[in-house]
Amino acid sequence: MKKFTLIVLCLLLTVSLFSCVADNVGGNSEGGANTQNGSKYVFNVASKNNYCVKLDMNMKEVLEALGEPLSYFEAASCAFDGLDKTYTYAGFQILTRPDGDKDYINSVILTDDSVTTPEGVYIGVSEADVTAKYGNPDQKTDTLLSYTDGNTALNFILKNGTVISIEYIPA
């Protein structure tokens, strides 16, 4: 299982090699309206007063807002100098990448139907539900609907027309 997790982390981090690090603080309860990180695609943590989590945020600030995760995992980075870290909270995971003595959010993965995107999409909805909320995707296959804005790609992974995973990753 650790080997699988490490492979997934390496793949996700490889995608982010050319992403920009931005100063990103604060939150927004207006789903999709905040573009401080160069993207309208953000994840609002409802259990924390809709605290806004965006790619490239300093993880130290996020930890202060969200508190201790349910679990934590770290491994040597495949793409950067330092440790890649995974913070698991109820319903979602935050993966970070190192940059000097700081860690920045590299991706957010929704892991069950207890959390939603700001637009109300969650794991278990149909492909039609996604396109009703987001419109036509920028990329589409039988297993993926991908929406890109600024530095963020919002991916809906599908199986038999049903969302099985939701990912905020670098575009």
Whole-model pTM? Answer: 0.78
* Tens digits of pLDDT across the chain (171 residues): 444 333 433 433 333 322 222 333 333 333 333 334 568 999 999 989 899 999 999 999 999 999 999 999 999 988 888 899 999 999 999 999 999 999 999 999 999 999 999 999 999 999 999 999 999 999 999 999 999 999 999 999 999 999 999 999 999
Q: Which of 37, 14, 22 is nearest to 150 (CA)?
A: 37
Distance CA 56, CA 150 (A): 12
With contact defined as beta carbons under 8 Å apart, do 125 and 116 qualify?
no
Structural domain including 58 reads 1-171
| CATH for 50 | 2.60.460
How many domains does the chain divide into?
Answer: 1
